Structures are given as C-alpha cells and as structure tokens.
Structure 1
Amino acid sequence: MAIERTEHARHQAQVTALIQKGDPVDFRDLFLTLHPGEQADLFIELEQPERQFVYRALTPEAFTDLFEKLELEDQEQFIQEMPRPYAVRVLNDMFSDNAADLMNELPDDFMNELFEQMDETEATEVKDLMRYPDDTAGAVMTTEFVVLKADKTVGETLEELRDLGPDAETIYYLYVIDASGRLVGVVSLRDLIVSRLDARIADIMGRRVVSANVLTDQEDLARTVQKYDLLALPVVDDEEKLLGIITVDDVMDVIERETTEDFEELSATKGSSDINMGPVEAAKKRAPWIISLMFLGMITASTIGGFEETLETIVLLAVFMPLVMGSAGNAATQSLVVAVRSIALGTINRKNVMKMVRREFGTGVILGVVCMIVIFGVITFLYDNALIGIIVGISIFAALSVATIVGTLIPLLINRLKLDPAVASGPFITTLMDNLGLIIYFTVATSMLQFL
C-alpha cells in the first residue's frame, strides 16, 4: 500500500504539472500510459478548471475508459459539467448498462436532452435497459456481446471476432443462437483457440448453458455466478431468446450494493452512508428510524414505570437494569446478523431453518448459563447480596435465551412476508429487547420479593 501511495503521489504531481503547463500533447503521452483505474483516481482529485483541460486534451473515446471507473455520483456530477457534444460522445461510447445506470440518476430534462443528441441505436439500447425494474437482471445486463451461428467454422468465427471483439464488453464467452434468436449453446474463447479452424461451432459448443431470466433478482444472479464460477451470465426472456449478458465485474458491483444496503438496513442508516452526502440530507434519511426508535424508547420508560413498586422496594435493582437490557440487545443483534446473512447467501431453507433456530437458542442458553454464574459471583462479592445476584443472574439467563430466538425468528418472518429481512435492524432489535429484558428482569424480581 505504501508503494501504491508513493506512485499515486508521483503521478499526481506529474499530471498536475503538465496541466499547469497547458500542453495537451505531453499530458496525453503520460496520462494514457496509466491504467484507467489510476486515471480515475487522479481525475477525481482535480479541480473543475483542471478537469476542463482534460476534456480538451482527451478524445471522448479515451476519456470513456476512465469515466466508467468512477462512482455513479461522480459520473452524474461530471457529465453535467462537460461540453454537451463531448458528453454525448462519451455516452455513445459507454457500455449500455453503465449508460443506463447513469441516465437513471440524471434530471429528466437533462436526460431527455442527451437522448435527443445521442446515436439513435445507442439511445434505443439504453432506453430499453432503463425499462426493466431495479435490482433485476434486465437492469444490470449489457447488450454489447458477441453471438455466433452454429453453422459457422472456427476460422470464420475468429475472423469475425477481430471486427466484433473491440465493441463487446467481453469475448471470453461467446453465445450461440438459432434462427429465432434462442440461446442454444456457449463457446469459450479457449475452445475456439484450441479447436481446428475447419471445425463447426455446433460441434464444439456446450449445449447445457447456465442462464438467467431477465426478471431474476440481482442477488440470485450473484449466487448463480458464484456457484458456477462464471465470467459472464447470459440473460434470456421467457422464450429463451438471448437479450444480454451480465459480466463478473457487474456482479461484483451488485454484491457491493447489496452488502452496503444490508449494512445500512441493519444499522438503520439506509441511504445515508455516503460520506459525500451533506448533514441535512443524511439527517432526513435517518430521522424516521430515530423518531420511531424514540417512541419505542418511551415504551421502555413505561415498562419501568409499571414496576415502580418493585424498584422502590429494592432500589439496588436499578443499578443492573442497563446490564440486563444491554446483554439481551447484544445477543439478539448477533443472532439477527447470523439470520440475515444466511438468508442473503441463500443457505437457509425449509430443511435447515429449525436447525438454525435450535442452534441459536442453544447458544443463548449456554451463554446465559455462563453469564448467570459470572454475574452471580460478581454481585455477591461486590455487594454482599446473594439474592440480588440470583435475581440478576436468572434474568440474564432468561433474557439471553429469549433474545437469540427473537433475533433469529424476526428476520425469518419478515423474509417469509417477501420483505427485506435486513429491515429488522440492529437498533430495532436492541430497543425491542430492552423492553423484553426489563419485563423479564422485573418479573423475576417481583416474584422473589417475598424472600427479602
């Protein structure tokens, strides 16, 4: 990492110096020797006047390579500051799926203006992709791919690839269609290279093709690519007609988005984890959860008020309320994460769901026994009150046992309702277990008042 930072700093100094010099030729000679990912890292740090110099120095086709490496919010900003003809040419040169993602983020009037000036074929492809629902295969796929005819020879196909390959997002897999456009086979680039030039595509293609329906959820796509170790996944309609492909880099983006979304749901920060977001916008997105949890906190206060007599009788009980509440909330959150992750990975099903529930309950019981013994010893030693130690110990045992069940079952029930199980966020589960933990604690304490 230190070497990478040193190289980045050196390139940054060189690029900045050439921009200040104002010589586009020297700038291009250096800048285009860098990887597009490195170019993007350098470009993102430039000020707007410096970026304008880059637009003048690089052709739109050369700039597109780095532009597609940028985050979507950065693309949205930069496309609006480019000279309009330059922006249109960049969009024409982008892969259709990336262009569709960007267009979806732009203001409607600006988007329509760009569509009017784009190449008609490119614009049609992008509009077609934008019609598919979010988070489906159709919204993720690209239409830049190579198709083969089964009656072609390997030699003829290799000649075609020299012309078609540069415009395709990937040529590691080549898909074979019949006269009606239905997907019937797949040929890898390796198969082409090692086969005889006079061999027919029909003789070397694989006929068992793993594909996805255009409306398949993007999480299922990621699992399919992972299961079969694919570099690309073909997308078909209900009639098995080939519509597009999803490449492994798109799947990595899907995994990143889904992971980010799950973390945001679990932490009740959905839509506000972007560090570039302003405090006002972040507060707006988080406010509904915070306000909801505040009202749930009022229920906690009411629960405490309902056991006022017990607290007045044994004031020392108030000292250990946070202990019981916190332990229950922590245990429930741990089980929640296990359940949500299992659902996200697709490892949970009807056959093993009870196994997971029993496992988590057993874990809660074991943790409860250990904590009960430890807290009994600590309270008895520090406060010289074995009865309080017994009350707190039993409460901790019961709370942890219940918490693991609650943390496991709630996301499973939400998933059964066809909702995202991650909405059972950590703060929600914690607040819920605060109430349940207090109820357990004061119920145990009230039932044992007679022994004081």
Structure 2
Amino acid sequence: MYTAMLFRIQNRNFERVKNDLAQLTPELVIDVLREMPPAERALAYRLLGKDTAIEVFEMVTDDEQVRLLEALAHPHAANVLSQLDVDDQVRLIDEAPAKIAKKLLATMPAEDRDRVATMLAYPPVSAGRMANPRYLAAHVTMTAAETLQRVRQTDLGPEDVTTVFIVDDALRYAGLVTVAELVRADPGARAGDLARLPAVAVMTTDDAAKAARMLQRRDLGALAVIDSERRMVGAITYDDAMDALEDDASETMYRKAGIGDPAHAKEVLRSEKLVTGSILYPVRVRILFLMITLAGGLMVGGLIEQFEDVLTAVVAVAIFVPLIMDMGGNVGTQSTTIFARALALGHITPETFKRQLAREMAVGATMAVIIGSLGGTIAYLWQGEPNGIPMLGLAVGLALFTSVSLATFLGFALPWLMVKLGLDHAPGADPFITTIKDFTGLAIYFGLATVLLGVA
C-alpha cells in the first residue's frame, strides 16, 4: 500500500490518494506517513480529512509534529495549530526552529497569540508552561445545579470536564469539586461549600514533574495552577501530567545511559540527532563519561599489577576476576536505575531517602549472602578442592559479598550525594560506582587470596 500511495503522490494522483487514506485508521495512516520522504509526507497529510488530520497530529511524536509543521504550507500549518489546546500550541512553538515558530505565531489569532506568549514566559519545565488556560470554573456563590449547567454547556473536551475549579470574584482558587460530586449533591448547595482541597494546587513556577506527581498521588482528574496571589492561571489534566512524568523519566534514563548532554536537555530526548548527521555530536556527548570509565579501568589495572605475584603463583585466582567485577557492575547498575526512576517519579524524596537507603542496603546484603555463598561454593568445588586450594572458595565468596553490598550502597548513596551537590547524577554516577566497587572488590579479593592461600 505504501509503495502504491507514494507512486500516486509522485504522479499527482491526489484524489486516489485521498480516497486510500480515508479507508485507513489513524494508526495505519501514521505508519504510512512515517515511511514517506518529507515532501510526500506533507502532501499526503494535507489530503487527510480535518478530523483525521488532527487526530493523527496529536498521536505522532513531538519531533514528528515539528517536522510536519515545517514541511506544510503556512496557512495549512496554522489551521492544524488552531485546532490544538493552548498548552499543546505552546509546546509545539517552543520545539519548532525560531523561523518556523515566528511565522506560526504570526498566523495565529491575536487572543491565542497572547495566551501562547504568556505561557512561553514561564520557565521551560514549569507548571505554568504546561497548564492549559482553558479550564472549567464556577463562582463560590453558584449552586450545584448552576455549576452542572455550566458543565453541560462547555465546549471543552471530555478530559477537561472531570473537575470544576471553584473561584471567587478575583479568580482566587478556593478548591475543587468533581462532576460526580456535583451530580450527587443537593442542587441548591453552594459550590463554595462543596469545594474541597483548597491547598492542593501548584504555583506557575513549580516544576512540571512535581505538579504531575501531586496530581498522581491525589488521584485527581485535573490540578489548579495558581500565581503568587492564588489566582488561577490554568489547569493541568491527568493526560498532561502523565506526559510530563514520561518526559522526566525518559530524560533521566537517556542521560543515565551516557548519551545525554546536561546543558541541552531538550536535545537529549531527540534521539534523531544521535543517529543522523555529523558523528561529532554523539562522540562529544558520550566521550566524557567514557573517559571516566577509562580512568577507572586504568586504576583497576594498576591494582591488578600490584598482585601479579599472586596471579603467577595461583593461576586459578585470575579465573574469578571477571566474575567479581561483572557482578558488582550489574548490581550497581540495578541500584542506580531503581534510584533514577524512583527519584523521577517522586518515590524518593529528601524525607524518605534514609529509609529507602536502609531498605536498599538490606536488599543488597541479602543478595550478597546468596551470591557470595553460591559463588564461593562453586569456586571451591571447581578450582579449590580439586587443585588443593580450598581457601580460594572463601576468598571468592567474601569478595563477592563485599562487591555486591558495596555496589547497592553506592548505587543509591552516590547519585543522591551528586543531587545534593547540584551535579548531574544520571550520566556521572555509574562510572564512579564502577571504579569504586571494582577497585574495592578486587583489592579485598587479592588481599584475601594473598593471606588465605599463603602467597608470599
């Protein structure tokens, strides 16, 4: 289907292409568009029906949206943009290159342009930037019946009408009430009396991920965003909150993998730049962290050199060096990954860190006992007993116990220390953890081997 459609576009058989696209679901349309070159993709997109075009646009990734807007003629791009919520307009214009953003802003109605400009004035990852200025509100003096009538008459989408925000004459936030609560309430009850959670709101300057976590913990459909005088400026819906959490966790995971550039957080999430274009960019953002690992590896190599006599006297000692290094590395990676995800999702906070660290150490100690016992027993049965060096099993077991225990502790403690110091823990923690646990684990292993095996 893709090949035939591409052929028809290139031969300007647009009516046939339009009919073909109309038979496809939005998901299949996206698959077809992604296979096409940019120019043909823009032409095919313009042939979609209005409703399908908007649905497809909202389903593709942020980068694909930007590239599509760049490829479209400006009047058509402006038409697509006008169908989106203001918060989505802000995100797209912020992501687009400066020239494209300027032209798109110029085509927008004055009211929308002013709203977008106001939201763009907030910090890039703030609640104010993510909030939708169109929300459902009711005055404190309105009755439940009057508020329900407002719900019926609103032109907001279904995801925006789960929650009604209660405000006073100055638009100061006084609480919220769900539509379900309004339906069950006495029709004559005042909205101000029904309002609850007056303290549950976020400031425009608060971090977007923090706002998303609050909404998630409270299990709300929407959350009020207020200014310094408690006036409502917008609302964050549940789907927006989930997008913010996904972006926050994705950024952390990408940077943790050593492919992030902390000074350009937006570029981290644009993997296209890492796999296309000049090779200098991926080399630049990854080489720094690899240099840390290189330095650590040389330090560990120097340690091994100091115990060359042990390796020469008892060759079997060398067999278990990779095991001790790899086991500690895997455990450390597990711990840092758990820490990064928990920190991104708000499961680890300054108040709970000590408790979480103690729990992780208990987990590490339990795993260390199991792995150390199993590894030591295997070492004894494999190289210890048949070769007349039974104490080798003890050295391997104790070294594994130490390496695993230390790796779990460092996997939580070191990233947390870097966070407290204002450093970027995502790409920086693993190289330091690897170096410390390798150096320590091997030092203990070789030290025990020297003493227990009686190597001079």
Tell me which interval the TM-score lies in, with the shorter structure as reference length. Answer: 0.7 to 0.9
One-letter amino acid of the structure 2 residue matched with residue 148 of structure 1: A
1:278 equivalent in structure 2: 275
Matches of 1:435 and 1:17, distance apart in 2: 61
One-letter amino acid of the structure 2 residue matched with residue 133 of structure 1: P
Contact 2:253/2:340 (<8 A) preserved: no
1:303 equivalent in structure 2: 303
Give the alignment partner of residue 121 of structure 1, picking from 111, 123, 128.
Answer: 111
Could you tell me which runs of 5 or more consecutive residues in structure 1 were left unpaired when the two chains were aligned. Answer: 1-8
Matches of 2:184 and 2:432, distance apart in 1: 58
1:185 equivalent in structure 2: 175
Matches of 2:446 and 2:377, distance apart in 1: 19
1:5 equivalent in structure 2: none
Structure 1 residue 73: deviation in Å?
Answer: 0.6
One-letter amino acid of the structure 1 residue matched with residue 275 of structure 2: G
Give the alignment partner of residue 366 of structure 2, picking from 359, 363, 367.
Answer: 363
Structure 1 residue 74: deviation in Å?
Answer: 0.2
Matches of 1:429 and 1:366, distance apart in 2: 20
* Distance 1:426-1:121 versus aligned 2 partners, 3 A rule: same
* Distance 1:360-1:267 versus aligned 2 partners, 3 A rule: same
Contact 1:329/1:431 (<8 A) preserved: no
Task: State whether structure 2 residue 213 is matched by structure 1 residue 210.
Answer: no
| Superposition CA RMSD, Å | 3.5
Contact 1:364/1:404 (<8 A) preserved: no
Task: State whether structure 2 residue 27 is matched by structure 1 residue 23.
Answer: no
Identify which range, 125-134 or 175-184, moves more after superposition. 125-134
Give the alignment partner of residue 60 of structure 2, picking from 66, 70, 80.
Answer: 70
Task: State whether structure 2 residue 240 is matched by structure 1 residue 236.
Answer: no
- Secondary structure in 2 matching 1:246: strand
Matches of 2:390 and 2:381, distance apart in 1: 8
Identify which range, 227-236 or 433-442, moves more after superposition. 433-442
Structure 1 residue 393: deviation in Å?
Answer: 3.2
Identify which range, 218-227 or 417-426, moves more after superposition. 417-426
Matches of 1:41 and 1:65, distance apart in 2: 14
- Secondary structure in 2 matching 1:126: helix
Contact 2:325/2:442 (<8 A) preserved: yes
* Distance 1:347-1:54 versus aligned 2 partners, 3 A rule: closer
Q: How many residues align?
A: 439
Identify which range, 268-277 or 356-365, moves more after superposition. 268-277
1:260 equivalent in structure 2: 250
- Secondary structure in 1 matching 2:236: strand
- Secondary structure in 1 matching 2:320: helix
Contact 2:407/2:437 (<8 A) preserved: yes
Task: State whether structure 2 residue 42 is matched by structure 1 residue 51.
Answer: yes
- Secondary structure in 2 matching 1:23: helix
Matches of 1:273 and 1:427, distance apart in 2: 24
Contact 1:335/1:360 (<8 A) preserved: no
Structure 1 residue 94: deviation in Å?
Answer: 1.6
- Secondary structure in 2 matching 1:216: coil
1:433 equivalent in structure 2: 437
* Distance 1:26-1:333 versus aligned 2 partners, 3 A rule: closer
1:386 equivalent in structure 2: 390
Matches of 1:46 and 1:22, distance apart in 2: 15
One-letter amino acid of the structure 2 residue matched with residue 392 of structure 1: V
* Distance 1:247-1:39 versus aligned 2 partners, 3 A rule: farther
Identify which range, 250-259 or 215-224, moves more after superposition. 215-224
One-letter amino acid of the structure 2 residue matched with residue 22 of structure 1: F
Contact 1:375/1:392 (<8 A) preserved: yes
- Secondary structure in 2 matching 1:148: strand
Give the alignment partner of residue 415 of structure 1, picking from 415, 419, 422.
Answer: 419
- Secondary structure in 2 matching 1:352: helix
Identify which range, 106-115 or 335-344, moves more after superposition. 335-344
Alignment of 1:96-115 (within 5 A): 96-115=86-105
Contact 1:145/1:168 (<8 A) preserved: no
Contact 2:21/2:29 (<8 A) preserved: no
- Secondary structure in 2 matching 1:185: strand
Q: Once the two structures are superposed, what CA deviation does each residue of 1:371-424 show, in whole Å capped at 9, x if it has no partner?
A: 323322222245443243343333223333333332232123223335554345
Could you tell me which runs of 5 or more consecutive residues in structure 2 were left unpaired when the two chains were aligned. Answer: 261-267
Contact 1:182/1:241 (<8 A) preserved: yes
Matches of 1:403 and 1:277, distance apart in 2: 30
Matches of 2:440 and 2:231, distance apart in 1: 54
Contact 2:42/2:71 (<8 A) preserved: no
2:318 equivalent in structure 1: 318
* Distance 1:448-1:296 versus aligned 2 partners, 3 A rule: same
Q: Once the two structures are superposed, what CA deviation does each residue of 1:177-214 show, in whole Å capped at 9, x if it has no partner?
A: 11112101323223444556665433544364622222
Contact 2:414/2:429 (<8 A) preserved: no
TM-score (norm: length of structure 1): 0.83
- Secondary structure in 2 matching 1:68: helix
Q: Once the two structures are superposed, what CA deviation does each residue of 1:306-342 show, in whole Å capped at 9, x if it has no partner?
A: 3334334434433322122112222323333344444
* Distance 1:382-1:244 versus aligned 2 partners, 3 A rule: farther
Matches of 1:76 and 1:332, distance apart in 2: 38
- Secondary structure in 1 matching 2:59: coil
* Distance 1:369-1:53 versus aligned 2 partners, 3 A rule: closer
* Distance 1:263-1:170 versus aligned 2 partners, 3 A rule: same
Structure 1 residue 78: deviation in Å?
Answer: 0.4
